[in-house]
Chains A and B, each alone.
Chain A
Amino acid sequence: MGPGTEMSTDKDGHRIEGSFVVKSGLAQMSKGGLIMDVVNAEQAKIAEEAGACAVMALERVPADIRRDGGVSRMSDPKLIKEIMAAVTIPVFAKVRIGHFAEAQILEALGVDMIDESEVLTPADDEHHVDKRAFKVPFVCGARNLGEALRRIAEGAAMIRTKGEAGTERCKVKSLKMENENPLNVHRWRKLEGNDPSTMEMIQKINFLQKLLLKRHQSIVEKEALIDDKDKSMDDSELFSYAKQIQVPVDLLREAAKIGRLPVVNFAAGGLATPADVSLLMQLGVDGVFVGSGIFKSNCPKKRAHAMVQSVTHYKNKEKLAELSEDLGEPMVGINCDQLAEKWEGRESEMK
């Protein structure tokens, strides 16, 4: 349970909206679920049908934002309203880092949660939005404990990991490899008469796995940091560590005490298969965001369904094997070159 579990109803028992309890409550209701990026009402309905616990409404999925380049901003309110009208599940939307006016507009639209996202172009290189001033809850990206606790101190009700969304390093590299090499790594089931040697195959798999693991290293590091600091740390150590990672000491103390972040923590960035989902859930995240992974694949309905089920059954190997079967190619049609800029580095104040 998060830091806001204290009851904050006033003495007369009147109704209170927008308290931290209520804001983090929505994040808690999303646990064990999958939140899907959608760019129109039709995709939102597919997401709802597949069992997504919320949708992220945006004009372009991160992979396309990166491909197009330029400044990317909050989505058109018209689009967000259409998506909100199309489904009965919560609708989230993104604002640029530090752009509190975009956040005010989204709050006025009545979106259920705001993602202050590094995927859009940051608007302020010194400040993030003061999220305590809003009734609507915020989710923010973080790469490490310090970043996560700074966002929580600013009022974030939920944290997600940052990934190189959409394109993901691993995918870019494997696509590049594919161009250089006539063997299609994504279709290795269909390699008739052109079998690579077993060794080569194993090497390829290992290579991909290594990249995948590297990509999610931030979570492992975060968990390890919490573990390290748990219990063993006395107050003076806490002070010095809080100083080192630039976070409020109270929040750090609480995280150390409960052995995890004091708010719900989701994984995001480059998840494309039931195995990806299981990996992250086993590493201890509360749920997952999926961006380009669904609608950039060639069989979105089936993949969406399989990935939602994988969040529930992440511990069940047999079930995962079943769910992973025959999902078509993951994330087809992305044609992106090298990453000119890494989004995960986007955080105000922390140049």
Chain B
Amino acid sequence: MLNIMNIGVLACQGAFAEHLVALKHVVQDLELSFHLVEVRDSSQLDSDLRGLIIPGGESTTLNIFFGQEAFLSKLKQWMCSTNPPPVVWGTCAGLIVLSDQVEHEKTGGQLEIGGLAVTTSRNFFGRQNKSFEQKLDLLTEDLVECYPYDKSPNFPGIFIRAPGIQAIKPSQNVRVLAELRGYPGLPNPSAVAVEQGSLMACSFHPELSKDLRFHAYFVRKVLKSSLPGKLSMKVYINEKWPKIL
């Protein structure tokens, strides 16, 4: 039986506190103890940690951090240490480091985790004067209805010097979760949130909005990957969380 699960937010730099606040709101409705932790040290990457958010901030800063004391290789090791693997969700800079291919890296290249079969371009939407907010279309019912307080088919997308998903490698089971419509010069619609196996990524910042559905979806994914096969999620999710994945 599962007792306590850890969900971590990488606290190197960026909006990690905002992610923790959002997660706190989401897990308070669950009949299950979660420990929400700020991950700053590779020793925290153990088998109790079942999910990790890599938050927005600067990917170059994240990079230096990855280079310290072989953090990156320990992170990669942790990501394939269990079956099913722990869930990792990258937002903004997190999308960059999870992508298999990255364009417009800083001179000299950057360290990446990889794993998502997408090509991502840094600062794709331009500098701060091009940062924007716009409603996005949610593509899956799972996401629309994953949290009982909001069933809108749209999600408030907040893009800060955001990276863009330029290409998705076909035949790799990459599922698009949200799309942006009508952005000048981009295919209409364009994917801005994806998932593939145990990985999730988005180029915008759900933690800056009040809509908690991406965080709820992430927590569900963590639960699903961590519960022993036959055990129903009903045991853990009360009536406020009605829909079972």
Q: When chains A and B are docked, how far (Å) is the Cα of A249 from the Cα of B40?
A: 38
Q: Does B238 contact A (CB under 8 A)?
A: no
Which chain A residues lie closer than 8 Å to B104 at the CB level? Answer: 88
Q: When chains A and B are docked, how far (Å) is the Cα of A52 from the Cα of B158?
A: 23
Residues of B whose CB lies within 8 Å of any CB of A are: 11-18, 21, 40-41, 56-58, 60-61, 63-65, 68, 92, 104-108, 122-123, 127-135, 154, 156, 158-161, 181-183, 205, 208-210
Q: Does A133 contact B (CB under 8 A)?
A: no
Question: Is A5 a contact partner of B16 (Cβ separation < 8 A)?
Answer: no
Measured CB to CB, the closest approach of chain B to A14, in angstroms, equals 7
Question: Is A25 a contact partner of B205 (Cβ separation < 8 A)?
Answer: yes
Q: When chains A and B are docked, how far (Å) is the Cα of A117 from the Cα of B83?
A: 54
Which chain A residues lie closer than 8 Å to B40 at the CB level? Answer: 312-313, 316
Question: Is B61 a contact partner of A21 (Cβ separation < 8 A)?
Answer: no
Which chain A residues lie closer than 8 Å to B209 at the CB level? Answer: 5, 7
User: Can you name 12 A-B residue pairings with CB atoms under 8 Å?
Assistant: A7-B210, A14-B134, A14-B182, A28-B160, A31-B16, A31-B17, A32-B12, A32-B57, A33-B13, A51-B58, A87-B106, A111-B128
Question: Is A22 a contact partner of B133 (Cβ separation < 8 A)?
Answer: yes
Q: Which residue of A lies closest to B104 (CB)?
A: A88
Q: When chains A and B are docked, how far (Å) is the Cα of A5 from the Cα of B135?
A: 14
Measured CB to CB, the closest approach of chain B to A58, in angstroms, equals 18
Q: When chains A and B are docked, how far (Å) is the Cα of A282 from the Cα of B14?
A: 17
Question: Is B131 a contact partner of A22 (Cβ separation < 8 A)?
Answer: yes
Question: Is A7 a contact partner of B128 (Cβ separation < 8 A)?
Answer: no
Task: Give 7 A-B pairs besides A90-B58, A90-B127 with Cβ atoms closer than 8 angstroms.
Answer: A15-B182, A16-B133, A17-B132, A48-B106, A107-B129, A135-B129, A136-B128
Q: Which residue of A lies closest to B41 (CB)?
A: A316
Question: Is B64 a contact partner of A9 (Cβ separation < 8 A)?
Answer: no
Interface residues of A in 292-314 (CB under 8 A from B): 305, 308-309, 311-313
Question: Is A32 a contact partner of B106 (Cβ separation < 8 A)?
Answer: no
Question: Is A53 a contact partner of B61 (Cβ separation < 8 A)?
Answer: yes
Q: Which residue of A lies closest to B134 (CB)?
A: A15
Which chain A residues lie closer than 8 Å to B18 at the CB level? Answer: 1, 28
Q: Which residue of B lies closest to A22 (CB)?
A: B131
A-B pairs with the 9 shortest C-beta distances? A13-B135, A51-B64, A112-B128, A25-B160, A32-B13, A7-B156, A53-B58, A15-B134, A33-B13
Question: Is A25 a contact partner of B131 (Cβ separation < 8 A)?
Answer: yes
Question: Is B128 a contact partner of A90 (Cβ separation < 8 A)?
Answer: yes
Which chain A residues lie closer than 8 Å to B13 at the CB level? Answer: 31-33, 51, 53, 311-312
Q: Does A324 contact B (CB under 8 A)?
A: no
Q: Which residue of A lies closest to B92 (CB)?
A: A29
